[in-house]
Structure 1
Amino acid sequence: MNKPLEKSSSAEVGPMKMNIDGVEHTFDIDDPRLPEWVEAKVITAGGFPYEKKLKRKEYEESLEKLQIELVKMQTWMQATGARVMALFEGRDAAGKGGTIQRVRKYMNPRTARNVALPKPTEAEAGQWYFQRYVTHFPTRSEFVTFDRSWYNRGVVEPVMGFCTPEQHEQFLAEAPRFEQSIVMDGIHLFKFWLNIGRETQLKRFHDRRHSLLKHWKFSPMDIAGMAKWDDYTKMRDLMIERTHTDYAPWTIVRANDKRRARLAVMRRILVSVPYAGRDTEAIGAEDERIIGSGPDFLD
């Protein structure tokens, strides 16, 4: 007999009213049954250009080839001292952690590391905003990924009231100058925004809420975020418009299908870093329906 599911929070969330594309819906994350209106648009939500996920066999074949190329790239980095830094941003449940895990899976962890910072300490809160991130920047030959970054202040903090409007505006003004200094110092900088549709996010939240293995991922922040979709969208659009530059562009990845998104991220890194021995045939062509640059590629 199956044991009853332990929820990630002792308190039930209860039904929530939400307007999606002009239609009023009720969503109850505590109900183990996923509503049909969510299930029907898990992949196609938000104008995603495919109706089905990439087939597993095709995904796994491409994934292996790209991971081999990433290992080759790391070997070149170790020989040349090149530094690479990739920021991964997106709404909650956009697939940031899973993408990072696939990118780094076969890379040498001694020189390929991930940074996922908790909330600032009292000392960090009194520092220059960017200071605690700088300490984690790559040194010679390092590949560093950030699972969320200084762009917390671009979207999450203003939506949730964790910073003042003045702090938010100061961040939007400073971030491009800060990133220009990073690029001028020779670091290969990538900024990925993984973009998902609303029904896609609801399905992933629902899966977390009712999973014995992943329920810990569903947090009070996720609950709050479900009710603030439009606020997140407004801040996302403003952030990308203000901080998308020629030297540090935003790469937008349509991520309703995690398989296509992961491959797209890997390809973008591999075609952008000038490592020796690149196998362009193994990397393959970028899917322009999945990956693009800047505000124009958003929904």
Structure 2
Amino acid sequence: MIKMFNSIEKKVGIIYFTLIISFIFSSEYKCDYCKKNIIGKYYFLEQKKYHEECYNQNIVPKCNFCKESLLGRYVVNEDGNYHNDCYKNNILPKCSVCIRPLEKEYNYDAWDNKYHGYHSNGKGNCSSCSRIISERTTNGGYIHIDGRAICNLCDKDIVNTKLEIEDSRKRVLLLLEEIGFQSLSNEIPIILKNRNELSLLMPHSSMISGLTNLEHSYKENYLGQISDEKKEYEIFILDKLNPIDFDSILAHEYLHVWLYENNLNYNSQITEGFCNLARAYIYQKNLDKYSIIQLNKMNEDPDLDYGVGYRIANLCLDNYGWNEMIKLFENNKAHNCF
């Protein structure tokens, strides 16, 4: 997520500080600080007169960073007074990409990396973790064939091999079994696709991360009656995903399988909202910073099915719990929640 944010300089004022120095060799004035006679030059400020030493040690404001006197123009903000250079080089937040001071407006990602807006013109933010991609923040990154920006922090852990896919399946089926989804097949083919390839399988949606394909086959007896029905599934998952995202999407797709196996046909908002509960469950079981960021995205998603549908389903889950909610769906009463 990228948001525009005004730096703390938005509350900073620039003070123009003028000193009038008079050279009077007379004892007719008294110092307004020490109350002693002034002989020689003095400082005159706001109708008050000071010995040079009294002024420099006690009256002139000091920089909150270097503690030296502030003469001429200086910066004032809610935290104190600063020389311009002290404020710019030491107080202003620094860009996570180039380490230069961030003045005026700047961007920040979900990991609190702050950066100049023009850095987004490069590879931008990682499509998985949302970090701004740079050598300092992510050890670099690249643009995948389907246009996704992928940082090297995510790339080093992506699920890619058959063994990694099967490890994910084992984790997911175990967690789904814990909440009441029993006997889900561990033999369904899981196939990696880039986003362009997934879009060809589901043309009306260009941003899907997973898809479950169902094919029916039937046998007929000698009377022409259907004697056996066989359902065959394929699960397609977006490639270049880290294990947590891969697990969460696979869990979502396995709930589609569960709905198909139980011949439950609901509208897309109920279906996708319900399946997204499994995705959220994976993040909730991890509950590290990355998972919290993904949960926040789900809670803010404006999509009517994957966002609004999920939040309605989540309220239902809060009210009923997994066991009762599963029964509602099995008995074709899921509309009670939506």
Q: TM-score range by the shorter chain?
A: under 0.3
TM-score (norm 1): 0.25
- Higher-Rg structure is 2
Q: 1 or 2, which has the higher helix percentage?
A: 1
Q: 1 or 2, which has the higher strand percentage?
A: 2
